[in-house]
Amino acid sequence: MSQIPGPDAARPDDPEVPAGARPAAADETRATDGAGDDPAAPVRPRRTGTLFAIALLVYAADQLTKVLAVANLEPGVPQPFVGELLQLHLIRNPGAAFSLATGMTWVFTIVAAAVVVVVVRMARRLRSGPWALALGLLLAGATGNLTDRLLRQPGFGRGHVVDFLELPNWPIFNVADSAIVAAAVLIALLGLRGINLDGTREPSRRERGRTGA
């Protein structure tokens, strides 16, 4: 009596199995195992180094210009720099950027320190060049003015920030203030465009409508 072949009688190495059967099955298994991966999407490099390089350059420019302003300008006496468009006018500012809230020095010291901590924490997830620029400027601006508040007179945490740049009909400011404003504008634009820290982009409402999402 002939024996009925069991279910495992047909083996992958039997000659009856087509030549490409095993590799195809293996490929299918690999594709299933990596179902969440998109091989077409390249992994973006981290931009942490870019962020800190930008922050260091702008911070150095801020501190150097403040040292030069204190050494060469007489407080309260404007000096034309670019005609009447930009003047050098040295003051000591106990408040926020552009001489706002001058009676809240300690509050702004704490806020600036918090901004520095938040930016450093965000840097670990950073893979976007524009975000690296924005956060680098923000970190430099916050650190530049924080240095003044910690190290300048009248005392630790209450130091007055050195401001010396004056435009017509505009509060006197410094390089750190300019960096903070530029960072705020960039962050707003990146948010409007839906660009994330990792460089990915959120679809707009119109794009979601096209795809039916």
DSSP states of 38-63: -TTSPPPPP-HHHHHHHHHHHHHHHH
DSSP structural state of residue 170: S
Cβ distance 125 to 197 under 8 Å?
Answer: yes
Q: With a cut of 90, say whether residue 28 has pLDDT above it.
A: no
Tokens of 19: 């030549």
Mean pLDDT of 124-145: 95
Q: With a cut of 70, say whether residue 26 has pLDDT above it.
A: no
Tokens of 47: 């931009």
Higher pLDDT, 35 or 128: 128
pTM: 0.73
Give phi and psi for 161, each to the nearest 5: -80, 140
Measured CA to CA, the distance from residue 185 to residue 206 in angstroms comes to 24
Strand positions, DSSP E, 8-160: 79-82, 86-93
pLDDT band at 98 (very low <50, low <70, confident <90, very high): low
User: b/e string for 38-59 if b means 16 or more Cβ within 10 A?
Assistant: eeeeeeeeebbebbbebbeebb
Lowest mean pLDDT among 5-14, 101-110, 111-120: 5-14
Q: How far is CA 63 from CA 22, 114, 127, 161, in A?
A: 67, 20, 28, 11
Residue 74's pLDDT is 96
DSSP structural state of residue 95: S
* Catalytically annotated residues: 163, 177
Tokens of 65: 């210009």
Residue 29's pLDDT is 40
Give phi and psi for 162, each to the nearest 5: -85, 120
Q: How far is CA 143 from CA 52, 90, 137, 176, in A?
A: 12, 20, 10, 8
Lowest mean pLDDT among 38-42, 99-103, 123-127, 207-211: 38-42
Q: Percentage of the chain with pLDDT > 90?
A: 55
pLDDT tens per residue, range 77-87: 999 999 889 99
